[in-house]
Amino acid sequence: MTEEKNRTKTPHHLILEERNFLTVSAVSDIDSFNEETAVLFTELGELTIRGSGLHMNKLNVDTGEVTIEGEIHTMVYTDDRPKKLFARLFQ
């Protein structure tokens, strides 16, 4: 088995309340953050959050939990892993 499969994954949760308060768990790093965009690295891929008036209320590096407040418009995951369908097409 590879080292990645042996590693215990932290549960990943997104909790959005009233589109104004977001809690994200299993965050491994923060790429960028400003009032309109936050880019977080999670165990399930890169998460981009867009909105207005965003600010970070809490960052717990021990648990990987981040809380963001502001008007949340979109949340999008970017995953660089090849999809199985495409992998089969290019074999």
Q: What is the DSSP string of 38-66?
A: EEEEETTEEEEEEEEEEEEEEEETTTTEE
Confidence of residue 90 (pLDDT cuts 50, 70, 90): low
How far apart, in whole angstroms, are the C-alpha atoms of residue 11 and residue 43?
Answer: 9
How far apart, in whole angstroms, are the C-alpha atoms of residue 47 and residue 40?
Answer: 5
Q: Judging by DSSP bridges, how do beta strands 14-17 and 45-60 pair with one another?
A: unpaired
Residue-wise pLDDT tens digits, 18-33: 999 999 999 999 999 9
